[in-house]
Structure 1
């Protein structure tokens, strides 16, 4: 089904649900900080008529086998860990629930498994659910396209409990740079993950990727463009995880009732 047709069908479903005042049933994978914050926010959210916007029908924690018997939901929200993917896949295939996933760190095989779920359900996966980061990605692509010949470095900073590096958001920004440079016909660009020792002169087609970890930092991402005698830096700073929760629940509203398929964040949130 074409993107326009999928969106029209989803819009009709959403409009119908809004008229009926029926809360969207959600299941949550994970009981960590994000899972807990998603639940507490969902439980107090209200629609335009003042009625509950969501009904949390299940939250799956360390006992992943609970996914096999958890009630069916309209949408499964997963901001947990790559280790939960088998339980996520099992739940989606059993119930047909749409999936809103913000889990990062998947390897190629896990990514393929995640994508295969789009055969049976609507799937949205993004490394970041902040609207500000979406704007940063667009700004990064614009800067990469216009600043020909500038050296590009990406630095991301997160709390000391984050298990994957670089962050999913840093990879999104890397894709924006590489895509813009290649679209401009300037050859193939590639990431370099940190530097150590006698690395020699910088390859003009490399994109430096650097990960900092410490404290309780929710997330800071900076893309810097270094040219002759000038520098341009673009930064997004998250002061709490609430921005990601708000974006995820906004995505849940838009994913409920969509036909099976693989969806992009911009497509869902901005109709792009």
Structure 2
């Protein structure tokens, strides 16, 4: 039995995780942490902050808010708990704190917990060296109207995958509203769409002379991310201290 502490238990992803965990006899939620109380009481110990949490567990899964990351890392390090970090909109300073914490505990971090997105990342890395000399590369991401961060962490993950595979790093251009924009090969255009209840769609466009290649990943349910996070949790509890990603697991 793996005992999970859910950080962000009352959010949409937290509730999705609760539902999936309840269906698995080998998993249980030992405690939940969130800055707000949900409409319905939860069937486990609940804390308003990781600072107050004294619950025992085998791993923490974090789908919360980037402002809570410092307290969460302190709690995990003090408790010697592995942690899966799925929260997005993290700053460079946040990433540095995560890296430092990974020296003392196992940390799994990904901007997207979908296995499919991480396969897409590998496909991109294979395509870029062949196409980069003649093809413009643009990324379009679509999400629901309540998503706060823009561009998405996944769009930045895909942009980083492109730059990992290029001979020369490309500049990120967020939107193309300038009238004198001539769309250089040295750029990656990143565009965000927000509306309705779109769970998530990412398209990487390779546009060359007289031909276009589009690689698209579409999510139809938040369960994709929840199942990926649980796979990551099962993976990380077997590892030693260090920083792990979907590439290590896939």
Which of the numbers 28, 43, 57 marks the counterpart of 1:55? 28
Which of the numbers 1, 24, 39 marks the counterpart of 2:18? 39
Alignment-derived partner of residue 38 in structure 2: none
In the superposition, the TM-score normalised over structure 2's length comes to: 0.91
**Secondary structure at 1:128's aligned position in 2?**
coil
Any stretches of 5+ residues in structure 1 without a counterpart?
1-22, 46-51
**Mapped contact 1:74–1:257 kept (Cα < 8 A):** no
**Mapped contact 2:50–2:75 kept (Cα < 8 A):** no
In the superposition, the TM-score normalised over structure 1's length comes to: 0.84
Alignment-derived partner of residue 161 in structure 1: 146
4+ residue segments displaced more than 6 Å: none
**Secondary structure at 1:207's aligned position in 2?**
strand
**Mapped contact 1:156–1:170 kept (Cα < 8 A):** yes
Alignment pair present for 1:170 and 2:155: yes
Offset from partner CA, 1:215-249 (integer Å, 9 cap, x none): 11110000000000110000000001011111111
Query: Hey, what's the Cα distance between the residues in 1 that align with 2:27 and 2:174?
Result: 41
Query: Hey, what's the Cα distance between the residues in 2 that align with 1:64 and 1:174?
Result: 35
Query: Hey, what's the Cα distance between the residues in 1 that align with 2:197 and 2:91?
Result: 26
Query: Hey, what's the Cα distance between the residues in 2 that align with 1:75 and 1:123?
Result: 10
Alignment-derived partner of residue 7 in structure 1: none
Alignment-derived partner of residue 5 in structure 1: none
Alignment pair present for 1:29 and 2:7: yes
**Mapped contact 1:60–1:67 kept (Cα < 8 A):** no
Give the drift of 1:169.
Answer: 1.0
Which of the numbers 195, 198, 203 marks the counterpart of 1:214? 195
Query: Hey, what's the Cα distance between the residues in 1 that align with 2:6 and 2:54?
Result: 10
What CA RMSD, in Å, does the superposition of the two structures yield over aligned residues?
1.4
Any stretches of 5+ residues in structure 2 without a counterpart?
36-46
Alignment-derived partner of residue 146 in structure 1: 130
**Secondary structure at 2:31's aligned position in 1?**
strand
**Mapped contact 1:73–1:95 kept (Cα < 8 A):** no
Alignment-derived partner of residue 237 in structure 1: 218
Alignment-derived partner of residue 74 in structure 2: 90
Offset from partner CA, 1:37-94 (integer Å, 9 cap, x none): 112211221xxxxxx2112111001164354333121110001110211331122022
**Mapped contact 1:64–1:84 kept (Cα < 8 A):** no
Q: 1:40 to 1:109 in 2, by over 3 A?
A: same
**Mapped contact 1:156–1:221 kept (Cα < 8 A):** yes
How many pairs were matched up?
237
